[in-house]
């Protein structure tokens, strides 16, 4: 979890747009993997993809 603290929090993230809400410990581990992927591969294109998927979720009323 320490690596997650290197990134400033935002409205949403790679784990949230790919997995949604975590209900179990196993789900939390999967979301951590998505967060670590983002930290290792972050770039402008990935940030734009997150932004577009977030807008699509909000406009399409797919969020919880």
Place of tokens 């406009």: 59
13 half-sphere exposure, CB direction, 13 A CA radius: 18
Q: In this structure, is residue 64 part of a structural domain?
A: no
The residue range of the domain holding 35 is: 2-59
Q: Report the half-sphere exposure of 50 (CA within 13 A, side-chain side).
A: 19
- Chain-centre distance for alpha carbon 41: 13
pTM of the full structure: 0.77
pLDDT value, residue 8: 76
Write the CA distances from 37 to 51, 54, 58, integer angstroms. 17, 18, 24
Asked, for residue 36, whether it belongs to a domain, the answer is yes
**6-53: per-residue pLDDT in tens?**
777 777 889 888 888 889 999 999 998 998 999 899 899 999 999 999
């Amino acid at each position: 979890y320490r690596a997650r603290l290197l990134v400033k929090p935002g409205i949403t993230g790679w784990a949230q747009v790919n997995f949604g809400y975590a209900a179990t410990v196993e789900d939390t581990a999967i979301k951590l993997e998505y967060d670590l992927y983002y930290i290792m591969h972050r770039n402008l294109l990935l940030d734009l993809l997150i932004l577009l998927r977030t807008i699509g979720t909000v406009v399409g009323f797919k969020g919880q």
